[in-house]
Amino acid sequence: MKRFIALMLGIAILLMFVGIYAQDSGKEFKYIGVKKCKMCHKSKKSGNQFGLWQEKAHSKAYETLASEQSKKVAKEVGVTGDPQQAAECLVCHVTAYDVAAELKEKTLTMEEGVSCESCHGPGSEYKSMKTMKALYAGEIKDETVGLVEPTEEVCVQCHNEKSPTYKPFVYEEAVKKIAHPVPEK
C-alpha cells in the first residue's frame, strides 16, 4: 500500500508541474482522446502511428486490469475490489486519469488505456493539420500548443519500482519497442 501511496504522490507532483506550465503559458490544454489522433496518424503515408500503438501493450493497459492476473496482483498489494475501478491502478493504466474533468473532452475514454496524450500531452491545441504542419515547419513551438516531447521522466512516472509488476526499465530499449516515427518528407 505504501508503494501505491508513493506512486500517487509522484504523479500528483507531476500533474502539479503540468498545471503550473499550463498556467504559465496562459492556456489550458485539454485531453481529446485517441480517435482525434487516429484521423491523421493511421495511414501508411503518415507512418501509421495509430496502428503501431494499437498493437502494443499501452493500448491495452485498461483492458489488462480486467485479467485474473491483475485482480490477483491488486489483491496482493491491498487493492480491494475491481482494478478497473481502483485509482491506484487507473492512474497508470488510463490517460489523464487524475486530471480535472474540465480538462478532458468527452471523446477521451478510459478504455483507450495509455494513449497518445499520455506521452505527447493534451491534444486540444495541436490536433489540427494546420497546427501540425506549422510545428513540423518550425513556425510554432511545441509548448505553445501543449505538445510534449516524450522523455524518460515521462515514462518513469509509471514504469518504476513502485509498480507491483515492475520489470527493470531501460528507457533506450523501451523507446525502440514503441517507436512510431513520422516518415521524412
Helix, strand, coil percent content, the chain, rounded in steps of 5: 50, 0, 50
Domain ranges of the chain: 2-177
Give pLDDT, residue 25.
52
Query: CB of 114 within 8 A of CB of 37?
Result: no
What phi and psi, each to the nearest 5 degrees, are found at residue 31? -80, 130
Task: State the pLDDT confidence band at 62, using cuts at 50, 70 and 90.
Answer: very high
The alpha carbon dihedral of 105, 136, 14, 82 has a sign of: positive
Average pLDDT, the chain: 89
Cell of 69: 492476473
Is residue 23 scored above 50 in pLDDT? no
Q: Tell me the CATH class for 2-177.
A: mainly alpha
Q: Are 123 and 99 spatial neighbours (Cβ–Cβ below 8 Å)? A: no
Sign of the Cα torsion 57, 15, 34, 88 reads: positive
Cβ atoms of 94 and 113 closer than 8 Å: yes
The pTM is what?
0.83
